[in-house]
């Protein structure tokens, strides 16, 4: 199974029989059986026919629409019967303060553990990079998570840890780009542009997965509901930010996959984005990274991040239905 990333501006997604075709100017760019597709992501001015969408929906394949720069605009999904028992349990647990706070603590602790170990591992492999100060600060912050009794306290701890972590991340960038800290909206430099794009890709895939399983992806626990944001997807995203997106971003930067010329500044917003050609390269590298087998967790055989998304969603489902402790994902470094 594969994900399609359609970025060729002016291309058209069509169907013929049980196959999907991508054409532009009467030239065939892609021909693939629909049965091999797990998801379709369309960026910018890429057209699609009603027949192609109907085929995707009949096969339970979600189609997500993004702006040319990578902002999620919306999704088309099949109206399959949802798991109402799961949704009832999800809403019930949302009203249980102890459940919400315990789950939030475990999510934040896993995030800090992954950040800490990533910094320590990099420092071990690159002793010329001074990361001791950031390592000590992260180690000092982590024990406070288990003692936090309010979501607001956890948010404060997470914010403090993020500041220290991205200070270390800046030192871990060894080639090409400057980075002075995390900037979300707008992404004020190429490194932030890469981080934001990666987080968006994982967030969208997890949101689609949760919806397909019967969750309401807009009702989160640690991230409280707000209009238009799939906060439950943001909850699970926290575990994958560092081991997936941050590692991938650092890899393509330090391997000099992209240069300054691969980005452009959108003047009205002040945000940096990948050019169309560079974005194609990004998606190819991202798909390879997320799909390759890796020893992801302690005492486990190799698997892929994409399979781990589902495993963690299943763990969350069990915790919600059975009112049990959620087991977060901590990467094996």
DSSP 28-45: EEEEEEGGGEEEEEEESS
What confidence tier does 269 reach under pLDDT thresholds 50, 70, 90? confident
pLDDT of residue 76: 83
Alpha-carbon distance 307 to 6, whole Å? 23
Q: What interhelical angle do 276-291 and 190-213 show, nearest 10? A: 50
pLDDT of residue 228: 77
Name the percent of the chain in helix, strand, coil, to the closest 5.
55, 15, 30
Delimit the domains of the chain by residue range: 2-76, 84-322
pTM above 0.75, yes or no: yes
pLDDT of residue 153: 92
What confidence tier does 43 reach under pLDDT thresholds 50, 70, 90? confident
| DSSP E strand stretches across 174-293 | 263-266, 271-274
Number of Cα atoms under 13 Å in the Cβ half of residue 75: 22
CATH class of the 2-76 domain in this structure:
alpha beta
- The pLDDT > 90 percentage for the chain reads 59
Alpha-carbon distance 160 to 2, whole Å? 38
Question: Is the pLDDT assigned to residue 199 strictly greater than 80?
Answer: yes
pLDDT of residue 295: 63
pLDDT of residue 1: 63
* pLDDT tens figures, 127-186: 999 999 999 999 999 999 988 888 999 999 999 999 999 999 999 998 878 888 888 888
Once rounded to an integer, what is the mean pLDDT over residues 177-201?
Answer: 90
Question: Is the pLDDT assigned to residue 80 strictly greater than 70?
Answer: no
Question: Is the pLDDT assigned to residue 297 strictly greater than 60?
Answer: no
CATH match of 84-322 with 1.10.268.10:
no
Q: Which residue matches tokens 């049965």?
A: 35
């Amino acid at each position: 199974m594969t994900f399609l990333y359609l970025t060729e501006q002016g291309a058209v997604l069509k169907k013929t029989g049980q196959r999907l075709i991508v054409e532009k100017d009467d030239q065939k760019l892609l021909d693939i059986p629909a049965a091999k597709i797990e998801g379709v992501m369309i960026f910018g001015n890429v057209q699609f026919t009603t027949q192609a969408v109907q085929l995707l929906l009949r096969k339970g394949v979600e189609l997500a629409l993004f702006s040319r720069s990578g902002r999620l605009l919306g999704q088309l999904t099949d109206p399959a019967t949802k798991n109402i028992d799961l949704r009832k349990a999800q809403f019930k647990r949302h009203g249980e303060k102890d459940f919400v706070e315990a789950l939030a603590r475990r999510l934040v602790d896993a995030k800090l553990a992954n950040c800490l170990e990533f910094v320590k591992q990099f420092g071990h492999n690159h002793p010329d990079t001074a990361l001791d100060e950031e390592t000590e600060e992260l180690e000092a912050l982590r024990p406070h998570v288990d003692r936090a009794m309010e979501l607001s306290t956890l948010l404060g701890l997470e914010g403090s840890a993020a500041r220290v972590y991205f200070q270390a991340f800046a030192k871990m960038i060894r080639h090409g780009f400057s980075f002075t800290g995390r900037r979300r909206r707008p992404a004020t430099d190429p490194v932030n542009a890469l981080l934001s794009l990666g987080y968006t890709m994982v967030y969208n895939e997890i949101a689609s997965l949760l919806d397909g399983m019967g969750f309401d992806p807009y009702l989160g626990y640690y991230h409280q509901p707000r209009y238009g944001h799939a906060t439950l997807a943001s909850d699970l995203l926290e575990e994958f930010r560092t081991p997936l997106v941050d590692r991938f971003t650092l890899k393509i930067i330090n391997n000099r996959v992209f240069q300054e010329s691969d980005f452009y500044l959108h003047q009205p917003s002040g945000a940096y984005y990948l050019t169309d050609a560079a974005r194609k390269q990004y998606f190819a590298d991202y798909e390879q990274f997320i799909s390759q087998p890796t020893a992801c967790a302690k005492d486990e055989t190799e698997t892929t991040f994409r399979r781990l998304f589902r495993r963690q969603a299943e763990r969350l489902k069990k915790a919600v239905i059975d009112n049990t402790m959620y087991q977060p994902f901590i990467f094996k470094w």
